[in-house]
Amino acid sequence: MDLKTAAALRRLRLVSAPEAVSFLILLVCSVLKRTTDFNAVPVMGAVHGVLFVLYVVFWADAWNRARWPLGTAALYIVLSVLPTGGFFAERKLRREAEDAVIAARARKEGVVNA
């Protein structure tokens, strides 16, 4: 894995958890708007919107650079629209990055020829 691919995956991983948190907070704000006089939906909607757009842009970059199969790319985009999906995406991306580092070290040491 080259540095640009690793950076693209890192950016996607770093934005996935905050995007998930903002989605959950937006859902709570929506409930509070309906049940109380508290209305933070416009603010949280904007915050979540920006984070979601960043997620999609970083997802497209990571898909292009990592050459994911269609199923993997679809999984990450589906996880972005589920309320807690970003947490699962972050965990899966972290594992993928760790596996890539292990494979790169093994290639460097000549353990594998991949």
- pTM of this prediction? 0.83
User: CB atoms < 10 A from the CB of 41, how many?
Assistant: 15
Instruction: Pick the closest to residue 21 from 51, 46, 54, 42 (CA basis).
Output: 51
CA-CA distance, 43 to 39, in Å (whole number)? 9
Residue 13 neighbours by CB under 8 Å, 6+ apart: 89, 90, 93, 94, 97
pLDDT digits (tens, 9 = 90+) for 22-59: 999 999 999 999 999 999 999 999 999 999 999 999 99
